[in-house]
Amino acid sequence: VQGKATPEEKKQLRELYEALAANKPPRGDAKDWKERTSALVEAAKALVANDPDAIAKYKKALNCAACHQEHKPN
């Protein structure tokens, strides 16, 4: 994460995370899924709003491997 996304790219990222969060987890705990995806949505909203702490929030919320380990189907 380098902070070089255009406003349109930030908006698209937010929309994609919102769509992801609207899904049920393919496997694993639904509460964990909601917590992880909600954190990503909130971080993406901060990016769109140009929040000065947005990149830090995004880095904290982004943990692809951990989420995939819990929720990605085999």
Which of 30, 39, 29, 27 lies closest to 63 in space, CA to CA? 39
pLDDT of 1 higher than 70: no
Q: How far apart are the first and last CA of the chain?
A: 28
Instruction: Give the SS3 label for residue 5.
Output: coil
pTM of the entire predicted model:
0.90
Tens of pLDDT along 2-61? 678 999 999 999 999 999 999 999 999 999 999 999 999 999 999 999 999 999 999 999
- Rounded Cα gap, residues 52 and 46, in angstroms: 8
* Amino acid (one-letter) located at 36: R
